Structure 1
Amino acid sequence: MRSLVAATLAVCIPFAAGADTVGITPDIMSVTVETGSGPVEIMRNQDTGNRLEGDWTLTSRDCPNFCIQPMIPAEGVTPVGELEVLAALQDPGFVLIDGRVRPDHEAGTIPGAISVPYTEAADRLGELGCEVDFDGWICEGDLPTVVLFCNGPWCGQSPTAARRMIEAGFPAENIQYYRGGMQNWRMLGLTVVPGT
């Protein structure tokens, strides 16, 4: 019996040592989302020695323009974190919007995010179910919930997009704000893909 236990442990120990250990939560190792390029598995980088490099490691930038953003960029907008973003990616009633300028989006984004630069947000409400009116937009009925993000807690692009969308007629209660943005997403080692 001892030899059977020893043989079982010898087989299990190397497997356990090589198993993925960096989960999203204790019960979730990865989330697969549909993107325009096909399914993408979002998970955390399994290299426990992984470190951020480049601009994502910068902690101090001139204010303005890189001032710390409030958790709620406009009245009625709901702040969310990474787990809520992952849930939104799996819910057809949500749209994840990368509010950064196109070159930043193309350099790397959250899988499943669509590019709507903050400068275009108020002009593209038709893509979210709003109808053009002489005075702007009519945003009524079954509208999606939009999750906006940009570069991180110091980036004002998605807060600006949220305010412009609300001013143009999109309901604030249909907007969520992922303030952590790409900086927090990368800091947690979550999957990043080139934007399209």
Structure 2
Amino acid sequence: MRKMTLTLALLALPAAALADPVGITPDMMSVSVPTATGMVEIMRNQDNDNRLSGDWTLTSRPCPNFCIQPMVPAPGVTPVGELEVIAALQDEDTVVIDGRVRPEFEAGTIPGAVSVPYTEAADRLGELGCEPDFDGWICDGEGVARVVLFCNGPWCGQSPTAARRMIEAGFPAENISYYRGGMQSWQMLGLTVVPGGAGG
């Protein structure tokens, strides 16, 4: 009888309570990153049964507009993954940029990311250490930031467009990294998402 009671008690526990730990890497369960509103802890969802829902589960939207983006959106840009994004969030000389339109950013973003919609990217290079010039921007010297651009996922053209526009305006391609997986891959891995402006 005691064994049956224990079995029933275990079955009554929420599934997440019985989950195996979900780390970022074998040696890293979480990482705290600075944001405009204070430190935010990034970790993976601990529910082993967690699933994506809504638009993030869609795989076959029509192209255009939802075409597969190249790994390198412009010559000189470096493709990166989640671990590099997390490292960039901890680097004070790197700016992680959410290139999506503002309502998408506000609905949920990577903690510490800054909203620079792709339509504004070439006009806001002064925020990244560039100096205005008659023909655009002068972006050389040690004061120019390194940036990581992302948007909705491998099918989203917003951050690749931002990268190309920034380069055309004078920003050095070698200072740009591109997280092609974007919000879809970030959420697929169960990583922390915050509303834009609240740690974003």
TM-score (norm 1): 0.90
The answer for the alignment partner of 2:84 in structure 1 is 84
Q: Which residue of 2 aligns with 1:105?
A: 105
Aligned to 1:179: 180
Aligned to 1:24: 24
Identity of aligned residues (%): 82
SS in 2 for 1:118: coil
Query: 2:118 aligns to what?
Result: 118
Quick one: which amino acid aligns to residue 47 of structure 2?
D
Q: Does 1:165 align with 2:166?
A: yes
How far the C-alpha of 1:144 sits from its partner, in A, is 1.2
Moved over 4 A (4+): 17-20
Gaps of at least 5 residues in structure 1 are 1-16
Per-residue Cα deviation, 1:132-190 (whole angstroms, up to 9, x for no partner)? 10111000111111000000000000000000000000000000000000000000000
Q: What is the aligned partner in structure 2 of residue 50 from structure 1? A: 50
Aligned partner of residue 177 in structure 2, secondary structure? strand
The residue matched to 1:105 in structure 2 has which SS? helix
Which residue of structure 1 aligns with residue 152 of structure 2? 151
Classify the secondary structure of the residue corresponding to 2:56: helix
Q: TM (normalized to structure 2)?
A: 0.88
The 2-side partners of 1:111 and 1:181 are apart by 13
Aligned to 1:61: 61
What letter is aligned with 2:175? N
Task: Describe the SS at the equivalent of 1:119.
Answer: coil
- Distance in 2 separating the partners of 1:39 and 1:19: 26
CA RMSD of aligned residues (A): 1.1
Q: How many residues align?
A: 180
Gaps spanning 5+ residues in structure 2: where? 1-16
Q: What is the CA distance between 1:20 and its match in structure 2? A: 6.4
